[in-house]
Structure 1
Amino acid sequence: MEYHVAKTGSDHGQGSQEDPFLTINKAASAAVAGDTVIVHGGVYREWVKPKFKGLSTKRRITYQAAKGEKVIIKGSEHIQSWQHAEGNVWKVVLPNEFFGNYNPYALEVSGDWLVTIEETKHLGDVYLNGMSFYEVSRFKQLIDPKVTTEVLDHWTRKMVPVHNQEQTKYVWFAEVNADNTTIYANFQGADPNKEFVEVNVRRSCFYPQDTGIDYITVRGFEMAQAATPWAPPTADQPGLLGANWSKGWIIENNILHDAKCSAISIGKEASTGHNYRSVRKDKPGYQYQLESVFSAKRNGWCKEKIGSHIIRNNTIYDCGQNGIVGHLGGVFSEIHHNHIYNIALKREFYGHEIAGIKLHAAIDVQIYHNRIHDCSLGLWSDWQTQGTRISKNLFYSNNRDLFVEVSHGPYIVDHNIMASEYSLDNVSQGGAYINNLICGKMNHWKEMTRSTQYHLPHSTKIAGFSFIYGGDDRFYNNIFIGADGLEGVGTSHYKNHTASLEEYIENVHKNPGDAEIFNLVEQPVYINNNAYLAGAEPFEREKDKIVDKSFHPNFRIVDKGEEVYLSCELPENFDVFLGEVHSTATLARVRIVDAEFERPDGSEVILNTDLLDMQRVEKSPIGPITLLKKGKNYIKVW
C-alpha cells in the first residue's frame, strides 16, 4: 500500500495521491509492514510517531520525501505575535497549553555527566531566519550588552570559542508560571513580526513513542529545531530522529540540524535506568552504567531484537551535544558516508557525552567514509568497543578527532585521516591502528579504577570484566606528522612495553603471585613499518620505520565546501618504504578478550582497500591512500 501526505490534503481523506492525508502522523497511524508513505513538499510541524513496525528487511515501512520535492519536519512553531518590550527586546506570551505536556522553556538541560553548568539552561530555543539564539538567565542580560558579553565570555574562556561570535549577541530569556510562558528575545533591531521567527515546541521530529518499532526507513527529509534532552548512556536517549530501542532502521539521505542535544539516536531507553546518578546520588554514574548493561540483557538486548541499523548519506550539523548518539541500542549497525559538522560548538552547556558521533557498546559497529569536522570531539567510542571498525573517515578542524575509552577490543582503526591538532585519546586496549595519517597530539593512559565489560565475539553476551592496563595495541603502516610545539605525536608513549605476548608472559611469571603480578609488566604492543615526520617520535623497539624529524610535509586539508583535498609533501624514500596488507592472519589476537580481529560475521577481515576504495596490492604505499608518493601530493579525499 502507498500512502500520500500533502499540505493540500486532509486527515479525513483516503491517503491516496488524489486524496492525500494532511499530516504524516495520520499516515503513520495507517501504514503497516510493506507500506510506503510518500510525503510531498512543504513544512510539517509535527512529531511523527510511527505506530506499527515492519516485519523484516523486505517487509519494512518506508517514509520518504516525494522525489524532487523539499519536505521539512520541524519541532518548532512560527510565532508572529511578538510585542515590543524594551530597546531591541521583544516578548511573546504563550499559554502553557500551547506546549502540551512538554514545555521546553520549563525543562532544564540536566542529567548524568552534565558538568560545568553554572547557569541553568533549558531545552527551548529561539530562531531568527533559521539562526538559533543563546539563552541568558536574567532579563537584565537581554538589555545590557556588557552583561551579556561577560556571561558568554565566561563560557568561551572555560572551553573553546563558539563557532559564530556574531551570533552570541542574539539572546533569549523565558519566564514560566502556572498559566503562561513568556519568552523575551533581543533581535538586535530586527522586527520579529516581519522576519521569520520560530520557537521550540516538540521534543522530537520523528521518533516512535513505543519501543520495538522495527524495520523503518526514513529517507530524504530535512528535520530541524527539536527540543531534545541531554542524552547520557545512563538515561533515555531520545533524538530529533531515532529508533527508540528497535531493530533494522535505515536512516538515509536526510538533512538534520538544530537539535538542542542530539540529532540521530540509536540509544537505550528509560526502563534500563534514567539519570539515577543525578537523581539518587548514592552511586557513581559508572556503577549505574554497569547495571544498565545487565538490565538491558534482562530486557532482551540481543542481535535478534536490537540494533542492526543503517545510517548513511545524511548531513548533520548545528547540534548541541551529538550528531549521532547511542548506548546499547546501536549494536551491529553501519554508519557511513555522513557529513557531520558544527557539533557542540555553541557551548551553551557542557558535559562528558559530547561528540559528532558518541557511542557506547558499539559492538560490531562499522563506521566508515564519514566526514567529521568542526566538532568539539569528532568520534567517541566509549565502553565495549569490540568488533568495531573505524575506517576511511576524514577528520579535521575538530578540538579532538578520536577518543576510544575503557574498551578491550578487538577494534580496528584503519585508513583514516586525522588532521586536527589533537588526534587521539587512547584509554583502551586491544586496538589495531593500520594505514592512518595522524597529524596531531596523541594521549595514552591506563584506567585502573573502572572495570568494564567485554563480550563473547559478535554477541551481547558478557564474557567478563577488566581494567585498562594500557597497550595490547597494533600500529602498522601509519604516517605520523608532528609540528613545532606539538608533543605526543607518534608511538613513543609505549616506552618500556613488551613487544610480544610471549615476552609479556615470561616477564609476568618471573614473580610469584596471581592478579598483582600482571600489574608489574606493561602489556605487549605490536608496532612496525610506520613513518614519523616533523618531530613525531617512534616506539623505541620499532624495527622498520622512517624517522625524519626535520622533514616538514606542509600538510593541509583544503576544504572547498562540497569537495575536500589533501595537500602534503613526502620524503624521497617514501616510495620505497612499502607495507604489507594486514588481515586477521597478521594481527595478533587481543589478550584480555582472547579474540581475533574479524568481520562481524566472523569471517577474515582483510584491509586491502584504501580511503578512496582503491585496491591495495601486497607491498603498497603506507598511509591511508595508495596514491601518495614522494614529493608533492594534492588528492581529492571527499
Structure 2
Amino acid sequence: MEYHISKTGSDQGQGTQVDPFLTINKAASVAVAGDKVIVHEGIYREWVKPRYKGLSEQRRIIYQAAEDEQVVIKGSEHIQDWQQVENQIWKVILPNTFFGSFNPYVEEVSGDWLVTIEETRHLGDVYLNGMSFYEVSQYDQLAAPVEKLEFKDLWTQEMVPVQNPKQTTYVWFAEVSPEHTTIYANFQGANPNKELVEINVRRSCFYPEETGIDYITVTGFEMAHAATPWAPPTADQPGLLGTNWSKGWIIENNIIHDAKCSAISIGKEASTGHNYRTLRKDKPGYQYQLESVFTAERQGWSKESIGSHLIRHNTIYDCGQNAIVGHLGCIFSEIHHNHIYNIATKREFWGHEIAGIKLHAPIDTHIHHNRIHDCTLGLWLDWQTQGTRISKNLFYQNHRDLFIEVSHGPYIVDHNILTAKHALENVAQGGAYINNLIGGRMVHRKVLNRSTQYHLPHSTKIAGFSLIYGGDDRFYNNIIVGKDGWTGVGTSHFNNYTTSLAEYIENVHNLHGDLEEFELVEQPMFINNNAYLNSAEPFEKENVKLVEESFDPDFFIVDQGDEGFLSIDLPDSFVNFLGEVHSTETLPRVRIVDAEFENPDGSNIILDTDFLDKKKENKSTLGPLTLLNKGKNYIKVW
C-alpha cells in the first residue's frame, strides 16, 4: 500500500495521491509492513509516532519525502502574538494547554553525567529566522545580555571559543504559572511579529512511543527544533529522530538540526535504568551503568532483537549534546557518509556525554567515511568497544577528535585523518591504529578503579570484566605530526611497555603471586613502521620508523563547502618508506578478550583500501591516502 500526505489533504481522506492525508501521523497510525508513506512539500509541525513495525529487510515500512520536494518536520510552533514590553524585549503568554502534557519550559536539562551547568537550563528554545537563542535565569538579564567569547573545556581545562559569540546576546526567559507560560525574549531590534519566530513545543519529530518498532526507513526529510532531554547511558535516550529500542532502521539522506540535546538516537530505553544516580544518589553512575548492561541482557538484548541500524548520508548540525547517541541499541550498526558539525558548540550546558557521535557498547559497529568538524568532541566510544571499526573518517576544526574509553577491544582505527590539538585520547586497550594521519596530541591513561565488561566475539553475551591496564595496542603505518609547543605527540608514552606477549608473560612470571603480578607489568605494545614529523616522539623500542624531527609538514584541511582538500608537505624520505597492508593475519590477538581482529561475520579482515577507497598494493605509503608523495600534496578528500 502507498500512502500520500499533503498540506492540502485531509485525515478523513483515503491517503491516496488524489485524496491524500493531511498529517504524517495519520499514515503512521495505519501503515504496516510493506507499506510506503510519501510526504509532499511543506512544513509539518508534528511528532510522528510510527505505530506498526516492519517485519524484515524486504518488508519494511518506508517513510520518504516526495522526490525533489522539500519536506520539513518541526517540533516547534510559529508564534506571532508577541507583545513589546520594553525596548528590544517582547513577551508572549500561552496557556499551558498549548503544550499538553509536555512543557519544555518546565522540563530541565538534567540527569546522570551532567557535570556542570552555569544555571538551570530548560528544554525550551526560541528561534529567530532559524537562529536559536540562549536562556537566561531571570528577567533582569534580558536587558543587557553579555556577549560570551569562550567557555572552559572541563576535560582539557582550556578555554574554547563559542561558535557564534554575537548569538549569545539573543536571549530568552520563561515564567510558568499553574495556568500560563510566559516567554520573554530579547530580539535585538527585530520585530518578532514580522519575522519567523518559533518555539520548542514537542520532544521529538520522529520517534515511536513503543519499543520494538522494527525495520523502519526514514529518508529525504529535514527535521528540526526538538526539545530533546539530556541522554546519558544510564537513562532513556530519546532523540529528535530515533529508533526507541528497535531493530533494523535505515535513516538516510536527511537534514537534521537544532535538537536541544541529541539528534539521532539508537540508544537504550528507561526499563534498564533511568537516571538512578541523580534520583537515588545511593550509588555512582558507573555502578548503575554496569547494572543496565546486565538488565538489558536479561531482557533480551541481542543481535536478533536490537540494533543493526544503518545511518548514512545525513547532514546533522547545531545540536546541544550529540548528532548521534546510543547505549546498547547501537550494536551491529553501520554509520557512514554523514556530515556532522557544530555539536555542543553553543555550550549552554556541559557533561560527560557530549560528542558528534557518542556510543556505548558499539559491538561490531562500523563507523566510516563521516566528515565531523567544528564539534567540542568528534567521536567518543565508551565501554565495550569490541569488534568495532572506525575507518576513513575526516576530523577537523574540533576541539578534540577521537576518544576511546574503558574498552578492551579488539577494535580497529584505520585510515582516518585527525587534526585537532587533542587528536586521540586512548583510555582503553586492545586497539589497532593503522594508516592514520594524526596531527595532534595522543593522550594515554589507565583506569584502575572501574572494571567494565567484555563479550564473546560478535555477541552481546558477557564473557568477563577487566580494568584498563593500558597497552595491548597496535600502531602501524601512521603519520604522526607534532607542532611547536605541543607535548604528548607521538607514541613515546609507551616507552616502558613490553613489546610482545611472550615478553609480557616472562616478566609477569618472574614475580610471585597472582593478580599483583599482572598489575605490575605493562602490557605489550606492538608499534612499528610509523612516521614521526615535526617533534613527534617515537616509541623508543620501535624497530623501523621514519623520524624527521625538524620537518614541518604544514598540515591543514581546506574547507570550500561542497569540496574539501588535504594540504600537507612530506619529506623526500617519505616516498621510499612503505608499509605492509595489515589484516587479521598480521595483527596480534587481544590479550584480555582473547579475540582476533576480524569482520563481524568472523572472516579475516584485510585493510587494503585507503581513505578514498583506492585499492592498495601489498606494500603502500604510510598514512590514510595512497596518493601521498614527497613534497607538496593537495588532495581532494570530499
Same fold at TM > 0.5: yes
Counterpart residue identity of residue 112, structure 1: D
Counterpart residue identity of residue 468, structure 2: I
Distance 1:158 1:379 in 2: 19
| Paired position in structure 1 for 2:540 | 540
| Paired position in structure 1 for 2:48 | 48
2:181 matched to 1:188? no
| Paired position in structure 2 for 1:571 | 571
| Paired position in structure 1 for 2:627 | 627
| Paired position in structure 2 for 1:391 | 391
| Paired position in structure 2 for 1:69 | 69
| Residues 128-147 of structure 1 mapped to structure 2, 5 A cutoff | 128-145=128-145
Distance 1:490 1:565 in 2: 24
| Residues 141-540 of structure 1 mapped to structure 2, 5 A cutoff | 141-145=141-145, 148-149=146-147, 160-540=160-540
Distance 2:527 2:169 in 1: 51
Counterpart residue identity of residue 438, structure 2: I
Quickly say closer, same or farther: Cα 1:449–1:407, change in 2 above 3 A: same
Instruction: Confirm or deny: 8 A CA contact 1:2 1:16 kept in the other structure.
Output: yes
| Paired position in structure 1 for 2:78 | 78
Q: Give secondary structure in 2 for the equivalent of 1:297.
A: helix
Counterpart residue identity of residue 140, structure 2: K
Distance 2:427 2:14 in 1: 56
Q: Give secondary structure in 2 for the equivalent of 1:375.
A: coil
Instruction: Confirm or deny: 8 A CA contact 1:584 1:604 kept in the other structure.
Output: yes
Quickly say closer, same or farther: Cα 1:153–1:542, change in 2 above 3 A: closer
Question: Which ranges of structure 2 fall in alignment gaps of 5 or more residues?
Answer: none
Instruction: Confirm or deny: 8 A CA contact 2:150 2:162 kept in the other structure.
Output: no
Instruction: Confirm or deny: 8 A CA contact 1:155 1:347 kept in the other structure.
Output: no
Distance 2:440 2:177 in 1: 50
Counterpart residue identity of residue 509, structure 2: H
Instruction: Confirm or deny: 8 A CA contact 1:155 1:348 kept in the other structure.
Output: no
| Paired position in structure 1 for 2:582 | 582
Instruction: Confirm or deny: 8 A CA contact 2:147 2:165 kept in the other structure.
Output: no
Distance 2:432 2:28 in 1: 44
Shift of 1:13: 0.1
Instruction: Confirm or deny: 8 A CA contact 2:128 2:196 kept in the other structure.
Output: yes
Q: Give secondary structure in 2 for the equivalent of 1:550.
A: coil
Q: Give secondary structure in 2 for the equivalent of 1:97.
A: helix
Q: Tell me which stretches of 4 or more aligned residues in structure 1 moved more than 4 Å.
A: 152-159
Distance 2:227 2:400 in 1: 26
Q: Deviations over 1:394-428 (max 9, x none)?
A: 00110100000000000000000001111010000
Give the aligned CA root-mean-square deviation in angstroms: 1.0
Q: Deviations over 1:9-64 (max 9, x none)?
A: 00000000000000000000110000000000000000000000000000000000
Distance 1:493 1:359 in 2: 27
Distance 1:283 1:30 in 2: 44
Instruction: Confirm or deny: 8 A CA contact 1:381 1:403 kept in the other structure.
Output: yes
Distance 1:631 1:211 in 2: 55
Q: Give secondary structure in 1 for the equivalent of 2:108.
A: coil
Shift of 1:149: 4.3
| Paired position in structure 2 for 1:113 | 113
Distance 2:598 2:556 in 1: 34
Shift of 1:556: 1.3
Percent of matched pairs sharing the same residue: 75
Q: Deviations over 1:479-522 (max 9, x none)?
A: 00100001111110101100000000000000110011101110
Shift of 1:117: 1.3
Instruction: Confirm or deny: 8 A CA contact 2:118 2:349 kept in the other structure.
Output: no
Counterpart residue identity of residue 247, structure 2: K
Quickly say closer, same or farther: Cα 1:297–1:68, change in 2 above 3 A: same
Instruction: Confirm or deny: 8 A CA contact 2:147 2:166 kept in the other structure.
Output: no
Instruction: Confirm or deny: 8 A CA contact 2:474 2:587 kept in the other structure.
Output: yes
Counterpart residue identity of residue 263, structure 1: A
Distance 2:477 2:419 in 1: 17
Distance 1:142 1:29 in 2: 43
Q: Deviations over 1:606-638 (max 9, x none)?
A: 000000000010111110000000111000011
TM-score when normalising by structure 1: 0.99
Shift of 1:144: 2.5
Shift of 1:155: 6.8
Distance 2:537 2:106 in 1: 52
Distance 2:6 2:226 in 1: 22
Instruction: Confirm or deny: 8 A CA contact 1:171 1:186 kept in the other structure.
Output: yes
Distance 1:612 1:179 in 2: 58
Q: Give secondary structure in 2 for the equivalent of 1:378.
A: strand
Instruction: Confirm or deny: 8 A CA contact 1:369 1:392 kept in the other structure.
Output: yes
Counterpart residue identity of residue 248, structure 1: G
| Paired position in structure 1 for 2:34 | 34
Distance 1:155 1:494 in 2: 29
Instruction: Confirm or deny: 8 A CA contact 2:413 2:431 kept in the other structure.
Output: yes
Counterpart residue identity of residue 86, structure 1: E
Shift of 1:537: 0.7
Counterpart residue identity of residue 593, structure 2: V
Distance 1:53 1:566 in 2: 44
Q: Deviations over 1:87-137 (max 9, x none)?
A: 100000000000011100000000001011130000000000000000000
Distance 1:359 1:617 in 2: 34
Shift of 1:349: 0.2
2:25 matched to 1:21? no
Counterpart residue identity of residue 426, structure 1: N
Equivalent pairs counted in the alignment come to: 635
Instruction: Confirm or deny: 8 A CA contact 2:151 2:162 kept in the other structure.
Output: no
Q: Give secondary structure in 2 for the equivalent of 1:523.
A: coil
Distance 1:5 1:368 in 2: 34
| Paired position in structure 2 for 1:595 | 595
Q: Give secondary structure in 2 for the equivalent of 1:350.
A: coil
Shift of 1:160: 2.4
Instruction: Confirm or deny: 8 A CA contact 1:405 1:426 kept in the other structure.
Output: yes
Shift of 1:86: 1.2
Distance 2:393 2:70 in 1: 29
Q: Give secondary structure in 2 for the equivalent of 1:454.
A: strand
Distance 2:605 2:152 in 1: 45
Instruction: Confirm or deny: 8 A CA contact 1:309 1:333 kept in the other structure.
Output: yes
Instruction: Confirm or deny: 8 A CA contact 1:137 1:173 kept in the other structure.
Output: yes
Distance 1:34 1:41 in 2: 23
Q: Give secondary structure in 2 for the equivalent of 1:160.
A: strand
Counterpart residue identity of residue 299, structure 2: N
Counterpart residue identity of residue 33, structure 1: A
Counterpart residue identity of residue 135, structure 1: E
Q: Give secondary structure in 2 for the equivalent of 1:351.
A: coil
| Paired position in structure 1 for 2:611 | 611
Distance 1:484 1:132 in 2: 38
Quickly say closer, same or farther: Cα 1:153–1:251, change in 2 above 3 A: closer
Question: Which ranges of structure 1 fall in alignment gaps of 5 or more residues?
Answer: none
Counterpart residue identity of residue 97, structure 2: E
Counterpart residue identity of residue 177, structure 2: N
